[in-house]
Every structure is written in C-alpha cells, then in structure tokens.
C-alpha cells in the first residue's frame, strides 16, 4: 500500500533516486574504463565524440566495453523490475525470476533458438514466450495446490528443475550450441559483443518494459492490496494480473536472452530498494531499475578484475550475495507459513 504522499517524503525519495542514478553512472563509467586494457576518460570521451572504431582504444570501447556495460545495466534493470512485479502480483516476498522458474523457461527457449541458429528479435520473442509459459505454469500450480507463499516457491522450484533438465538434455544432444557455456548457465557477459544480434533488440524491449511498468504502477499497487480490496476499488483483477505477469516475463526473458540464467537480482534489489524508498511503485520501480543495473555492473566488474587474468561469470558473485539473502528471507517468513 502506498505511503501517504507528503512533500518531505517525496523530496527524500527524489534524492534517493538521484543518488541511485549517480551510482549507476559511476558503475557504468568504471565498467567501461577498467579491464585488461584500461581506458582513460579522455580515450572514452574521444571515442564517443569521434565514433572512432579503428584505433585500439576505439575498438575496445565500441565492440567490447560499451556493449558489455549496456548489457549489465539492461539485465540488472530488467530482472530487478521483473522481481518487483512478481512479488507484488503473487503477494510473495520470496518470488523472483530465478527462484520460481521464469529464468529457466526463458533459458530453455533461448537454448532451442540456438539449436536452430535463430538470432535477433526471434531470440528475444522466444525467451519471452518461455518465461511467460513458466510463470503461468507456476501460478496455476500454486492456485491448484493452495495459495500459500510456500506453495508458490515450491511450485517454482519444481518447474525450475524441470525446465533446467530440459535445457541440459538439449545441450547433451547438441553440444555445439552456444548455450552450452558455463557463462550462460550461471549468468555472465563475457560473450556479449557489439556485433552480436541478440543484445540490442533485448535492450530495447527492457527499456520499453520498464517504462510500461511505470505506467502500470498504480494498478500494481492496488493489486498488491489483495484481490478483495482490488475488486472493491473497481480494478479488473484477472486482466491486470495477466498483463503484469506477462510484463514480468517479458523483462526476465529479454534479460536472459543475452546474459544467461543470472540469479538473485530480482530478489535482492526489490527488497533493498523497498527498505530505502518504500512500497510505492511509482518510486520503487525506477529505484529498483537503477540499483539493479548498478549492482550487476559492479558484480561483472569484480568478476573481471579480482582474479585477472582469469574471469569469473558475474552470476557467481550474485549467487554468493543472493543465496544467504534468500535464506535470511526464508527464515524471516518462517518457512512461508503465512498465507497470501
């Protein structure tokens, strides 16, 4: 439920969003500048102004660092906002794209696309359909077996395991597919380049999806109050729930299509953002998008630098952060015994 609007609280929230934006810009600058070959601010500025793609610095900037940084920011924003929507619509603070099988559904669809050498918008569309099928299946299973918070999580875990098994089966039969890499299975950005056909269509989808989530923030807040209250306020609950779940699937699917099965962003970021800025979706969605992008960019940067010349997938760092966070939430919820 939204907090009562006051000028002081809105000013405080605005300052927090500006601070998150500055953190995002700093994370993006560090991601572009640092690596095996550091780029100075002057080199980055010159590459931006002149569009130089012939010098060594220009090639690194345009074909490696800029696409990778854009991928980190877009994936973080997409998964974080997807988590915000899922937690509100399912009335479950443990819901996240990687936990309830949404990422796994998108990953299976992307694996199928790689088997058939699909690219570009086809991959993004297939990832969306896979994620949508997964979230619809989890929602139906939870309703059939009881709508407790634990039921949603357990249904998602089962669907997640089933879809991951299907993906692994395809990789076993088609070992030459690009999706057989560890980077995809745990989530990472080492394969993202400026020449690939997957990244930019997905980035466009994520940007539009986040904007649509902002437009639907009022409906999301009303729906989070519960079905009875939402009906009483005149909200078409079934249609709004379907639309918002589809939007969450779209954001998660587009992210997975280029970053792999990146976990825990959609769990950690919404909770931290909510603790900072409150539950009002008008503020929570942009805050989550900014914090999600910054978190993923910094994790990817750490993965590149801490063990150089070796590089770890960013998903490993997020797993080290997210797994304890999930366990703490699970304990706090007392095993999900509270009903939605």
What pLDDT, on a 0 to 100 scale, did the predictor assign at position 224?
86
Q: Is residue 201 part of a domain?
A: yes
Helices (H), 178-235: 182-186, 199-215, 217-224, 227-232
Q: Is residue 268 part of a domain?
A: yes
Q: Is residue 105 part of a domain?
A: yes
Q: Is residue 273 part of a domain?
A: yes
What pLDDT, on a 0 to 100 scale, did the predictor assign at position 181?
61
Q: Is residue 1 part of a domain?
A: no
DSSP lists the bridge partners of residue 339 as: 148
What pLDDT, on a 0 to 100 scale, did the predictor assign at position 141?
80
Q: Is residue 202 part of a domain?
A: yes
DSSP lists the bridge partners of residue 148 as: 339
Q: Is residue 114 part of a domain?
A: yes
Picking from 238, 240, 308, 299, the residue whose alpha carbon sits closest to that of residue 265 is 299
Question: Rounded CA gap, 259 and 268, in Å?
Answer: 18
Residue written as token pair 């992210």: 255
Which structural domain, as residue segments, surrounds residue 27?
7-336
What pLDDT, on a 0 to 100 scale, did the predictor assign at position 302?
93
What pLDDT, on a 0 to 100 scale, did the predictor assign at position 190?
86
At residue 190, what are phi and psi to the nearest 5 degrees? Answer: -65, -25
Q: Residue 78 to residues 47, 96, 97, 286: CA-CA distances in angstroms?
A: 28, 12, 10, 11
* Preceding peptide of 309 cis, ω within 30°: yes
Q: What is the mean pLDDT of each run of 10 residues along the chain (340 residues)?
A: 59 94 97 92 91 89 94 96 92 86 91 82 87 88 68 82 90 72 80 76 94 95 86 87 91 91 92 93 96 96 89 90 85 55
Q: Is residue 108 part of a domain?
A: yes
**CATH number of the domain to which 253 belongs:** 1.10.3470.10
What pLDDT, on a 0 to 100 scale, did the predictor assign at position 148?
61
Residue written as token pair 């366990």: 327
What pLDDT, on a 0 to 100 scale, did the predictor assign at position 120?
72
Question: Rounded CA gap, 93 and 333, in Å?
Answer: 9
Q: What is 118-142 written as a DSSP string?
A: --THHHHHHHHHHHHHHHHHHHHHH
In this prediction the pTM is 0.89
Picking from 283, 268, 267, the residue whose alpha carbon sits closest to that of residue 221 is 283
What pLDDT, on a 0 to 100 scale, did the predictor assign at position 149?
62
What pLDDT, on a 0 to 100 scale, did the predictor assign at position 263?
87
The number of domains in the chain is 1
């Amino acid at each position: 439920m939204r907090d009562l609007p006051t000028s002081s609280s809105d000013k405080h929230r605005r300052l927090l969003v500006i601070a998150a934006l500055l953190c995002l810009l700093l994370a993006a600058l560090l991601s572009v500048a640092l690596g095996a070959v550091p780029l100075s601010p002057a080199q980055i500025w010159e590459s931006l102004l002149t569009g130089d793609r012939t010098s060594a610095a220009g090639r690194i900037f345009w074909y490696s660092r800029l696409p990778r940084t854009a991928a980190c920011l877009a994936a973080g924003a997409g998964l974080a906002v997807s988590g915000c929507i899922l937690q509100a619509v399912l009335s479950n603070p443990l819901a996240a794209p990687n936990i309830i099988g949404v990422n796994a559904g998108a990953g299976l669809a992307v694996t199928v696309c790689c088997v058939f050498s699909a690219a570009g918008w086809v991959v993004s569309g297939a990832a969306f359909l896979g994620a949508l099928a997964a979230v619809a299946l989890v929602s139906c299973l939870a309703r059939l077996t009881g709508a407790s918070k634990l039921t949603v999580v357990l249904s998602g875990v089962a669907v997640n395991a089933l879809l991951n098994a299907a993906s692994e089966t395809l990789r076993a039969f088609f070992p030459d597919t690009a999706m057989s890499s560890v980077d995809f299975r745990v989530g990472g950005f080492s394969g993202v380049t400026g020449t690939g056909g997957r990244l930019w269509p997905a980035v466009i989808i994520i940007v539009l999806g986040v904007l649509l989530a902002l437009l639907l923030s009022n409906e999301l807040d009303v729906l989070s109050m519960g079905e009875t209250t939402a009906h009483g306020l005149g909200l078409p609950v079934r249609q709004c729930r379907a639309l918002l779940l589809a939007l969450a699937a779209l954001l998660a699917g587009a992210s997975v299509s280029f970053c792999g099965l990146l976990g825990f962003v959609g769990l950690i970021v919404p909770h931290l953002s909510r603790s900072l800025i409150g539950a009002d979706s008008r503020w929570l969605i942009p805050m989550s998008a900014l914090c999600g992008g910054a978190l993923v960019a910094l994790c990817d940067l750490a993965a590149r630098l801490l063990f150089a010349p070796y590089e770890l997938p960013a998903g490993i760092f997020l797993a080290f952060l997210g797994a304890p966070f999930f366990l703490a939430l699970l304990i706090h919820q007392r095993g999900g015994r509270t009903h939605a």
